[in-house]
Structure 1
Amino acid sequence: MTGAWALLGAIAVVAVVAVVLRARDGRVRPAGAHAAEAHADLPAPVRALLDPGTPVTLVQLSTTFCANCRRTRTVLEELADRTEGLRHVELDVTDLPEVAATLGVLRAPTTLALAPSGAELLRVGGIPKPDALVAALRPHLPGPIG
């Protein structure tokens, strides 16, 4: 009987963890006060992706075998295609663990919205929720978001 209780307890713990992770997936987090100052420490592979003429670059950090990365790419590409001043790029960090560690990225996909200076404006872990991402990006873009 003790084994059955242990099994039920383990199932309950897994269910709670799954609910918490699902609730956090796609949530837009504004950059903290430290992020605006930390752009000097931006890793070179990320810095190379920035375009000084684009107000916001969405840098999607992905890995080779990430199923959610493909869906995230689709969401971000569609948003960038219809939005003036927004650019989407993808960086595969499978072989660049130091880049992920420097940026404090613990999961793939993670999307960083960066200003031309490299300052982090916001970040999204998981597949972005388009409406929440649009609302968060609006103050940083010059024109309407399509």
Structure 2
Amino acid sequence: MDVTLALIALGVLVLLAAVLGVCVKRKASRVRAVSEERRVDIAALGLERLGDRATIVQFSTEMCSRCPGVRRTITGLVEEQSEVAFVHVDVTHRPELARAYNLLQTPTVLVLDDAGRPRSRLTGAITRQALTDQLESVIGGVSVAR
């Protein structure tokens, strides 16, 4: 093989790897608004009652490496907000919940309004800022501690 051709092939491979890396990084953390009128069955998730203003539901699995960090982030945020409830749901042995909520990866976080309807869905590596922004949009502009 000619050296020039080998260098061109190597350059193309490096470029493809870089593009693939950017695509994977973009998909690693996604936030999207949800406009469902279907309420979440909080009893099936192990929650006795909804938060007065909002409820955060985190779905995780035993093997999820990002889930403990996301759980700590949510717990810290909820401790500062008395009107926001939090429930952590391990779906490792509950495939019916994974199907019911269309879980394709963990962690997946739902931000519910005060009536229990999902308003935001966050997946992947979730930052405190992204979660705070979504919580503010559900609560309706009331400042959430950062």
Bin for the TM-score computed over the shorter chain? 0.7 to 0.9
- How many angstroms apart in 2 are the aligned matches of 1:94 and 1:125? 17
Residue 30 of structure 2 is matched in structure 1 by: 27
Contact 2:39–2:117 (Cα < 8 Å) also in 1: yes
Deviation at 1:107, TM superposition (A): 0.1
Residue 103 of structure 1 is matched in structure 2 by: 101
Deviation at 1:19, TM superposition (A): 2.2
CA deviations over 1:10-63 (Å, ceiling 9, x no partner): x766654442231233332111x3x2x2226x48522x4262343211111000
Unaligned runs of 5+ in 2: none
Residue 44 of structure 2 is matched in structure 1 by: 45
Deviation at 1:104, TM superposition (A): 1.2
Distance 1:16 1:94, change over 3 A: farther
- Aligned residue pairs: how many? 137
SS of the residue aligned with 1:65?
coil
Q: Which moved more, 1:12-21 or 1:79-88?
A: 12-21
Residue 138 of structure 2 is matched in structure 1 by: 140
Structure ranking higher in helix proportion? 1
- How many angstroms apart in 2 are the aligned matches of 1:73 and 1:80? 10
Letter in 1 for 2:67: C
Letter in 2 for 1:38: R
- How many angstroms apart in 1 are the aligned matches of 2:116 and 2:48? 7
- How many angstroms apart in 2 are the aligned matches of 1:136 and 1:74? 17
- How many angstroms apart in 1 are the aligned matches of 2:65 and 2:73? 14
Contact 1:114–1:120 (Cα < 8 Å) also in 2: yes
Unaligned runs of 5+ in 1: none
- Once the two structures are superposed, the pairs formed by residues 66-85 of structure 1 within 5 Å of their partners are 66-85=64-83
SS of the residue aligned with 2:71?
helix
Q: If the length of structure 2 is used for normalisation, what is the TM-score?
A: 0.76
Q: Which runs of 4+ in 1 moved over 6 A?
A: none
Contact 1:56–1:87 (Cα < 8 Å) also in 2: yes
Distance 1:117 1:67, change over 3 A: same
Distance 1:109 1:115, change over 3 A: same
Contact 1:56–1:114 (Cα < 8 Å) also in 2: yes
Of 72, 85, 88, the match for 1:87: 85
Structure number, greater radius of gyration: 2
Superposition RMSD in Å: 2.8
